[in-house]
């Protein structure tokens, strides 16, 4: 790792550097140099002097900085004198630049500053176009301007040659003053500068940019900075509507500015083509009541310190979203912060000590704690002490607001002082507010004997707080040095009753007072530091008196020589922009194993009092095991995916994605998912709040590993966010990560509840929703698009459940599966065995189409308006054997293409079906009016997954139904009815919650094959034969599970039913034309009902629950014709007096295949509101009021 430097400035303007390879702070060689602020970049550091000049320190390197000055000598030929410097009036200058527009005689070149020196004299470039020339460096042309060449021709009337002179930068390793611009008017005196932009996101390795702020609030940009021109050339003003107090530029394309009113500005449009950006966007301070004090930015992070010295982190910051999305409070109290390389964070603490934010990584940009920068000081090898370890650290705290000489004893808060306690270990402080991490343990000196506490009442002559009014170090320094020192008696010589009459000195404000008095953002307190120095001798004496909040005599500095040199600087500024460290760096002065630091949320006086307490709580080896910091944090996962842009031109776009999760100090988490893309060279982004996500579901898109992200709003608009990964593993990783965050935000843990709604998609994925009471309540019903669905591992075609926790499923190949109920439990060593291997096989079809003509008969030459000769079933998309792939990359072919004779409508011996035209109903025999024909080709593919499903051999099933019941019900055996793939009716015996798979199948006799069956409350069994006839099974009971006989039920007029579902007291069925029918007149005495009533159309399947609730899979959503068929819908307005309901509420859609609500017996309370007290009438777990939201959307 290369050696880099950390820069810092103390309150007297002295500049220090600390090398990553060293251990000691080094002061700048120029002892007269006084800087207010510094900003570092790679290989350089800029500073603002107390004289308002800009200074530059270039790091020494093996390669010298050289700049080539060049000018061109131009001549024209004339018949008398030949080539001379006498040119035509319209010609260029005799000495000019390469364009000829600007005169550049040799004597006009001067060194830009004293930091440069000439390496030699002017000489002629003897090459032409990079090739050696024998013409003395002359290039010839017909006229100005033209293409010059070294060859002289008969018509060459003009010539030129280049003169070169080099100058070298000689100020490397020293602080060099940047000269004022001439002749351009220089900017007003600058009060702040920031270096950045050398790692623009478009291209890395660029030279840095320099930004400045004048005392009048103007923003300036330094032009002309180049590797060979490190000083730059001129200043350019950047327009800003408000007065700026401070700004910060990141290594990339981020620039934030702090306004005098405490708000923040963000510069947008920064790029290589537009280094000054395009516009400003205002961002409010983290706390409206407290103004911002400092801002610091990195590559993709923004940190802010407010005037109460609280530290804040900006979420969601990215080059696509420079404004971010929200503020997170971070533990610690700091005077200022700076973001360096690798987004590492440095800070000047409230105690004027230097701190480093440890644990900052790309995945955790907020870090996890503060540690001191413990560099050695002076000529000895002692570590520079932490400011809290000094008797006085430059400010008094709330415990000493009343008087400098009389402080409130903190025994009442921290406990009594044990005078006998010897060398002990400092405990880890557990502050209630977000605080800084204490690290490791250390030995502390033996505390002195305890003495009487000083009075706690405020004194009448208490000093007034000192409020700095200017950031001028010179003014403050001169005022300090001109003041004559007044001899004062030693504190030990002053009687206690006379202590209160000592003259008081100005003191610093506490954070609370600073907020009240509106302290300017650029406060630098020299008097407080001066007072700290004058009390060093008195401090130990006071500690000998045993006071927990010591009394100080505040004097003045007697000399300006080596102020603070004994104990180390009192810091005011730090810059880590040139310090290349990261969370894994092994830096000696950043070792967490150093002295234990006190929480920065505690004041210095409280910290000193705490250190004098008995230290017997924790052994040293246990301290390191404690959590580092109880404060907010941010975790980020970044990656690259492909995004389906669903507007023209529709195509897949490579995008960057980031999942950002913030954790509050109380453990609450909030996550945002970002998608960053570029459109027409403009950086844009999309974001989704994780707590608004309703479903994450894999989808079928162009053989990609794709998944869709739905929110309530995107569900209403039928506009999901579709993303695709490069591999199955990447897709599963992102799905698991996003799903875990969704469940964590909603407080969902463990396996699905017994009341859950189960569903399957057309892709075979299994989705589940844990309902709340508001799902079926008659008033304030939760909108269907607000339902949160999560995925359960496995692959099924259809699924059925009941409220006792039994769940059965059927694969696409007819295999029966039963849910083991173990998914989602706490992991344990045996969990791997709880997930079983599950396979499924399905068929993929393509259709071969032909048209008849009189000359050749049936051929693949169709009319221009016909469908493709190889297509899907609808004929809208061309599908050949060669370009047809399995449904997703998870599937693999297990057979070859074969003709399918098992097609509805029948086929002839060659597999053809005939019709009069496309598209009409096809039949299996040819007639005189049939001019088109088709046949279906099929190929099988297989998928293998792992899930909590156990196979139930050996019969393949086509339909299954479990008897719904209320949650209070207790049944030794649960009736389960099913249909085999051949249409046989089966009854499963021995099914119970303890044995969900049952024991054996019981065959129920029929005279024809069936295609749908359902069992409802009170053992009502209804079924539909393959010819559409409806039957009711009589005399079914627990004692006679198979019943006695079938009763025929008339079908709706001129309709053929294909699917039905039976609830507690109602029966709904779906016909071949997707119409939904309701059976009227069902009574206990006449369970067959009386008549069918049409309810709705556009229905694929229906599920009726134990509370007679009705849910369907709709074929489409009204108003969205391009939506993929299959949407979850809820019937609203159902009740005892309105069993048919009133309207539909459309929910999640686009590829849903089947739904089962037969386990949801979470009966809503009778009243319109949830009961305030008492036990629930349903055993389902109570949901928080936050989950009861939304109104039904009636369509």
Between 73 and 1172, name the one with better pLDDT: 73
pLDDT of res. 183? 55
Helix (H) or strand (E) holding 46: strand 44-49
Mean per-residue pLDDT, 726-753: 90
Q: At what angle do helices 526-534 and 473-482 cross, to 10 degrees?
A: 40
Q: Are strands 292-297 and 369-372 parallel, antiparallel or unpaired?
A: unpaired
Mean per-residue pLDDT, 1075-1094: 92
Paired tokens of 14:
């002295």
> How remote is the C-alpha of 933 from its chain's centroid?
55
User: Could you give the CA distance from residue 1079 to residue 1014 in angstroms, rounded to a whole number?
Assistant: 14
User: Could you give the CA distance from residue 397 to residue 375 in angstroms, rounded to a whole number?
Assistant: 27
pLDDT of res. 887? 82
Which residues, other chains included, contact 103 with Cβ-Cβ below 8 Å and sequence gap of 6+? 93, 95, 96
Radius of gyration of the chain measured on its C-alpha atoms: 41
- Read off the pLDDT band of 384 (50, 70, 90): low
pLDDT of res. 592? 62
Q: What is the residue whose two structure tokens read 């969990």?
A: 831
User: Could you give the CA distance from residue 1097 to residue 1074 in angstroms, rounded to a whole number?
Assistant: 6
pLDDT digits (tens, 9 = 90+) for 776-789: 776 777 888 899 99
Residue 932 has pLDDT above 90, yes or no: yes
Picking from 748, 750, 758, 765, the residue whose alpha carbon sits closest to that of residue 802 is: 758
- Read off the pLDDT band of 168 (50, 70, 90): very high
Q: Are strands 807-810 and 898-900 parallel, antiparallel or unpaired?
A: unpaired
Which residues, other chains included, contact 388 with Cβ-Cβ below 8 Å and sequence gap of 6+? 351, 353, 597, 598, 604, 607, 608
| Ramachandran angles phi, psi of 513, nearest 5° | -70, -35
> How remote is the C-alpha of 418 from its chain's centroid?
49
User: Could you give the CA distance from residue 382 to residue 378 in angstroms, rounded to a whole number?
Assistant: 8
Mean per-residue pLDDT, 241-264: 94
> Which residues make beta-bridge pairs with 1145?
1130
Half-sphere exposure of 553 (CA within 13 A, CB side): 24
- Read off the pLDDT band of 824 (50, 70, 90): low
pLDDT of res. 876? 85
pLDDT of res. 385? 52
Paired tokens of 145:
């301007």
User: Could you give the CA distance from residue 299 to residue 361 in angstroms, rounded to a whole number?
Assistant: 12
Q: What is the residue whose two structure tokens read 């099929």?
A: 938
User: Could you give the CA distance from residue 226 to residue 924 in angstroms, rounded to a whole number?
Assistant: 81
| Ramachandran angles phi, psi of 544, nearest 5° | -65, -25
pLDDT of res. 650? 85
Q: How far apart are the first and last CA of the chain?
A: 65
Residue 386 has pLDDT above 60, yes or no: no
The 8-class DSSP code of residue 738 comes to: H
- Range from 200-209, 606-615, 1102-1111, 1114-1123 carrying the lowest mean pLDDT: 606-615
Mean per-residue pLDDT, 884-902: 90
Q: SS3 for 342?
A: helix
Picking from 569, 494, 545, the residue whose alpha carbon sits closest to that of residue 14 is: 569
The 8-class DSSP code of residue 376 comes to: B
Cβ density class 519-530: b for 16+ within 10 Å, e for less? bbbbbbbbbbbb
Peptide bond into 1022 cis (omega under 30): no
Q: Please list the alpha-helical segments (H only) found in 1019-1063.
A: none
Half-sphere exposure of 944 (CA within 13 A, CB side): 4
Strand ranges of the sheet holding 292-297, from the earlier edge strand across to the other edge: 292-297, 302-306, 310-315, 326-339, 345-349, 354-358, 369-372
Q: SS3 for 399?
A: helix
Neighbours of 1181 (CB within 10 A): 12
CB contact at 8 A, 466 and 397: no
Neighbours of 63 (CB within 10 A): 6
Does residue 1074 come out as left (phi exceeding 0), alpha (psi in the -120 to 50 range) or beta?
left
User: Could you give the CA distance from residue 875 to residue 861 in angstroms, rounded to a whole number?
Assistant: 15
CB contact at 8 A, 298 and 314: no
pLDDT of res. 268? 93
Q: SS3 for 475?
A: helix
The 8-class DSSP code of residue 443 comes to: B
CB contact at 8 A, 450 and 419: yes
The sign of the dihedral angle between the CA atoms of 767, 771, 774, 775 is positive
pLDDT of res. 584? 79
Please state, for a pLDDT cut of 70, what percent of the chain lies above it: 76
Mean per-residue pLDDT, 296-323: 93
Residue 1180 has pLDDT above 50, yes or no: no
User: Could you give the CA distance from residue 1057 to residue 1069 in angstroms, rounded to a whole number?
Assistant: 7
pLDDT digits (tens, 9 = 90+) for 432-479: 333 333 333 333 344 444 434 444 444 444 443 433 433 443 344 334
Paired tokens of 47:
């500073």
Query: What pTM does this model have?
Result: 0.72
Mean per-residue pLDDT, 210-216: 92
pLDDT of res. 975? 93
Q: Are strands 898-900 and 1076-1080 parallel, antiparallel or unpaired?
A: unpaired
> Which residues make beta-bridge pairs with 9?
15, 573
Q: SS3 for 817?
A: strand
- Read off the pLDDT band of 980 (50, 70, 90): very high
**Total residues found in the chain within this entry:** 1195
pLDDT of res. 495? 40
Half-sphere exposure of 332 (CA within 13 A, CB side): 41
Mean per-residue pLDDT, 698-724: 88
- Read off the pLDDT band of 1165 (50, 70, 90): low
Q: SS3 for 55?
A: strand
Paired tokens of 413:
């808060």
Between 543 and 968, name the one with better pLDDT: 968
pLDDT digits (tens, 9 = 90+) for 129-153: 778 888 888 999 999 988 888 888 8
Half-sphere exposure of 942 (CA within 13 A, CB side): 8
Residue 812 has pLDDT above 90, yes or no: yes
- Read off the pLDDT band of 1151 (50, 70, 90): confident
User: Could you give the CA distance from residue 609 to residue 415 in angstroms, rounded to a whole number?
Assistant: 9
Helix (H) or strand (E) holding 699: strand 693-699
Residue 498 has pLDDT above 90, yes or no: no
Mean pLDDT (the chain, rounded): 78
User: Among 805-819, 957-971, 1149-1163, which range has the highest average pLDDT?
Assistant: 805-819
Paired tokens of 944:
């293998």
Q: What is the residue whose two structure tokens read 């409070």?
A: 329
User: Could you give the CA distance from residue 538 to residue 552 in angstroms, rounded to a whole number?
Assistant: 7
Paired tokens of 83:
């080539």
């Amino acid at each position: 790792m290369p050696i880099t430097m950390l820069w810092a400035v103390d309150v007297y303007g002295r500049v220090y550097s600390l090398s990553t390879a060293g251990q000691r702070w080094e002061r700048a060689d120029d002892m007269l140099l006084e800087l207010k602020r510094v900003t570092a970049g790679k290989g350089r550091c800029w500073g603002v002097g107390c004289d308002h000049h800009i200074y530059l320190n270039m790091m020494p390197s093996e390669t010298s900085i050289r700049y080539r000055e060049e000018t061109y000598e131009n001549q024209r030929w004339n018949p008398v004198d030949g080539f001379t410097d006498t040119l035509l009036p319209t010609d260029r200058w005799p000495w000019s630049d390469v364009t000829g527009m600007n005169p550049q005689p040799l004597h006009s070149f001067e060194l830009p500053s004293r930091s440069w020196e000439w390496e030699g004299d002017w000489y002629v470039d003897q090459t032409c176009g990079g090739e050696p020339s024998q013409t003395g460096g002359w290039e010839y042309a017909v006229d100005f301007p033209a293409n010059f060449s070294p060859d002289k021709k008969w018509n060459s009337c003009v010539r030129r040659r280049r003169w070169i002179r080099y100058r070298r930068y000689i100020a490397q390793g020293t602080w060099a003053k940047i000269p004022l611009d001439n002749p351009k008017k220089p900017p007003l005196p600058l009060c702040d500068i920031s270096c950045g932009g050398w790692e623009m996101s478009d291209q890395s390795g660029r030279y840095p940019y320099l930004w400045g702020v004048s005392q009048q609030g103007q923003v300036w940009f330094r032009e002309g900075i180049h590797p060979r021109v490190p000083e730059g050339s001129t200043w350019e003003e950047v327009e800003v509507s408000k007065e700026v107090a401070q700004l910060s530029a990141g290594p990339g394309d981020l620039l934030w500015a702090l306004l005098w009113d405490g708000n923040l500005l963000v510069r947008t449009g920064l790029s290589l083509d537009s280094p000054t950006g395009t516009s400003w966007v205002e961002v409010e301070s983290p706390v409206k009541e407290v103004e911002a004090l400092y801002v610091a930015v990195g590559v993709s992070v923004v940190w802010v310190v407010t005037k109460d010295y609280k530290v804040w982190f900006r979420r969601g910051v990215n080059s696509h979203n420079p404004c971010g999305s929200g503020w997170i409070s971070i533990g610690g109290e700091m005077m200022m912060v700076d973001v360096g390389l690798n987004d590492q964070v440095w800070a000047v603490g409230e105690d004027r000590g230097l701190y480093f934010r440890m644990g900052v990584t790309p995945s955790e940009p907020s870090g996890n704690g503060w540690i001191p920068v413990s560099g050695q000081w002076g000529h000895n090898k002692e570590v520079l002490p932490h400011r809290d370890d000094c008797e006085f650290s430059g400010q008094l705290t709330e415990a000493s607001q009343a008087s400098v000489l009389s402080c409130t004893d903190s025994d009442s808060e921290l406990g009594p002082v044990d005078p006998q306690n010897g060398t002990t270990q400092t405990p880890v402080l557990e502050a209630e507010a977000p605080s800084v991490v204490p690290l490791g343990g250390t030995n502390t000196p033996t505390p002195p004997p305890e003495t009487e506490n000083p009075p706690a009442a405020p004194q009448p002559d208490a000093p007034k707080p000192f409020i700095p009014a200017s950031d001028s170090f010179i003014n403050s320094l001169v005022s300090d040095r001109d003041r004559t020192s007044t001899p004062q008696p030693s504190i030990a010589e002053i009687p206690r009753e006379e202590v209160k009459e000592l003259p008081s000195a100005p003191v610093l404000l506490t954070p609370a007072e600073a907020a009240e008095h509106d302290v300017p953002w650029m406060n630098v307190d020299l008097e407080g530091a001066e007072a700290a120095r004058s009390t060093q001798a008195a401090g130990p004496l006071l500690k000998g008196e045993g006071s927990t909040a010591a009394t100080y005599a505040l004097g003045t500095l007697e000399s300006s020589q080596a102020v603070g040199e004994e104990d180390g600087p009192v810091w005011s500024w730090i810059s880590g922009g040139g310090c290349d460290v990261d969370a894994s760096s092994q830096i000696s002065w950043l070792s967490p194993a150093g002295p234990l630091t006190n929480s920065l949320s505690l004041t210095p006086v409280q910290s000193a009092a705490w250190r004098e307490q008995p230290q017997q709580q924790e052994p040293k080896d246990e301290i390191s095991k404690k959590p580092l910091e109880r404060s907010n944090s941010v975790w980020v996962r970044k990656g690259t995916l492909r995004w389906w842009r669903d507007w023209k031109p529709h195509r897949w776009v490579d995008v960057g994605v980031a999942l950002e999760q913030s954790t509050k100090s109380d453990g609450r988490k909030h996550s945002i998912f970002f998608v960053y893309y570029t459109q027409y060279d403009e950086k844009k982004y999309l974001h989704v709040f994780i707590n608004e996500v309703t479903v994450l579901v894999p989808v079928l898109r162009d053989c990609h590993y794709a998944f869709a992200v739905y929110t309530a709003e995107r569900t209403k608009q039928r506009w999901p966010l579709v993303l695709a990964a490069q591999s199955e593993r990447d897709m599963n990783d992102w799905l698991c990560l996003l799903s875990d965050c969704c469940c964590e935000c909603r407080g969902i843990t463990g396996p699905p509840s017994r009341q859950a709604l189960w569903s399957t998609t057309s892709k075979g994925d299994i989705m589940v929703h844990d309902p709340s009471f508001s799902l079926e309540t008659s008033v304030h019903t939760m909108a269907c698009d607000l339902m949160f669905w999560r995925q359960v591992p496995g692959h099924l075609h259809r699924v059925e459940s009941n409220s006792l926790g039994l769940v059965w499923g059927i694969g696409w190949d007819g295999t029966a599966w039963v849910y083991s109920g173990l998914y989602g439990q706490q992991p344990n060593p045996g969990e791997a065995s709880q997930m079983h291997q599950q396979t499924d096989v399905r068929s993929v079809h393509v259709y071969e189409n032909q048209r008849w003509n009189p000359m050749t008969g049936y051929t693949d030459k169709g009319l221009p308006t016909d469908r493709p000769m190889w297509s899907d079933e609808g004929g809208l998309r061309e599908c050949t054997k060669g370009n047809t792939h399995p449904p997703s990359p998870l599937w693999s072919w297990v057979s070859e293409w074969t003709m399918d004779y098992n097609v509805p409508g029948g086929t002839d011996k060659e597999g053809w079906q005939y019709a009069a035209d496309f598209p009409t109903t096809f039949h299996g025999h040819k007639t005189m009016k049939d001019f088109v024909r088709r046949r279906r080709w099929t190929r099988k593919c297989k998928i293998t997954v792992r899930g909590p499903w156990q196979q139930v051999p050996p019969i393949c099933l086509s339909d299954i139904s479990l008897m719904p019941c209320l949650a209070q019900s207790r049944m030794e055996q649960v009736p389960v009815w099913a249909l085999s793939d051949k249409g046989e009716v089966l009854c499963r015996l021995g099914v119970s919650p303890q044995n969900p798979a049952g024991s054996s199948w019981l065959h129920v006799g029929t005279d024809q094959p069936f295609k749908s069956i359902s069992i409802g409350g009170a053992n009502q069994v209804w079924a539909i034969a393959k010819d559409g006839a409806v039957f009711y099974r009589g005399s079914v009971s627990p004692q006679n599970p198979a019943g006695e006989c079938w009763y025929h039920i008339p079908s709706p007029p001129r309709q053929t039913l294909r699917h039905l579902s039976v609830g507690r007291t109602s029966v709904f069925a779906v016909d071949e034309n997707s119409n939904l029918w309701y059976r009227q007149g069902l009574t206990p005495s006449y369970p067959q009902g009386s008549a069918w009533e049409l309810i709705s159309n556009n229905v694929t399947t229906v599920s009726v629950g134990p509370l007679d609730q009705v849910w369907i899979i709709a074929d489409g959503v009204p108003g969205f014709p391009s939506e993929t068929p299959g949407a979850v819908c809820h019937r609203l307005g159902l009740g005892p007096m309105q069993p048919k309901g009133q309207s539909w509420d459309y929910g999640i859609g686009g590829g849903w295949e089947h739904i089962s609500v037969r386990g949801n017996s979470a009966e809503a309370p009778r009243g319109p509101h949830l009961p305030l007290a008492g036990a629930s009438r349903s055993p389902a777990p109570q949901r928080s009021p936050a989950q009861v939201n939304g109104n039904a959307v009636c369509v």
